[in-house]
Amino acid sequence: MNSNISKTKSVVDEARFVAASNWTGPIDESTADKESTTVTRLWQERLEKTDAERFKKEVGIAGKMNEKIDLVDFKEKVAYELKVSGNNPGHEFYKDLFKVLIYNQNHNQIKLNTLVFITQGKGVDKLEKGLGKASADFVRQFGVNVELARLD
C-alpha cells in the first residue's frame, strides 16, 4: 500500500494534472460531456491505483439510491466531487452537499467530515459568495466542512 498522497492538495493536484491533458474546454456540449467524463474517470482511477484501501470511486450514498460521490478518501474522511467545467457550478454543488449529508445519515461507522468541490476558477468565484457561501456555512452545523478547489 502506497500512501504518498496524504493531503487534499495532492488529490486536487491529481485532478489538475489529468484535466491539463484531457480537457480542452470545448464549445459544444457533447464533446464537453465526453471530456469531462474522461477527466473524472482517469482522476478516480489514478487515485484508486495509488491506494485502493484508502480511495474509492463512485461511493453510494444510501441503500437503493443511485446517487454516488465521485471519490472518497476513507483515511481522511473526505468526499471529493469534480465538476470539470466551471459553468453553472451551483446545481452540482448543492446536490453534492446533500449527497454528503445523506451519506453521513446512512453510514454510522465512517462519517465524512469534509467535502472538497473541485471546479474551474470561475465556478469557485461564483460559489464563494451568496447562496454558495451560505450553504457551505450551513452544512458545518452537521459536522461537514466545505472546501472549494480551483481546477485551473
Write down the pTM of the prediction: 0.91
The whole-number average pLDDT for the span 73-100 is: 93
**Least confident among 20-24, 64-68, 91-95, 101-105:** 20-24
Predicted confidence band of residue 7 (pLDDT cuts 50, 70, 90): low
pLDDT digits (tens, 9 = 90+) for 125-135: 999 999 999 99
Cell numbers given for 31: 464533446
Asked if pLDDT for residue 2 goes beyond 50, the answer is no
For residue 2, tell me if it sits in a domain: no
CA separation for the pair 86, 91 (Å, rounded) = 11
For residue 133, tell me if it sits in a domain: yes
For residue 47, tell me if it sits in a domain: yes
pLDDT of residue 142: 96
For residue 1, tell me if it sits in a domain: no
Give the residue, 28 or 144, on which the prediction is more confident.
144
Asked if pLDDT for residue 28 goes beyond 80, the answer is no
For residue 3, tell me if it sits in a domain: no
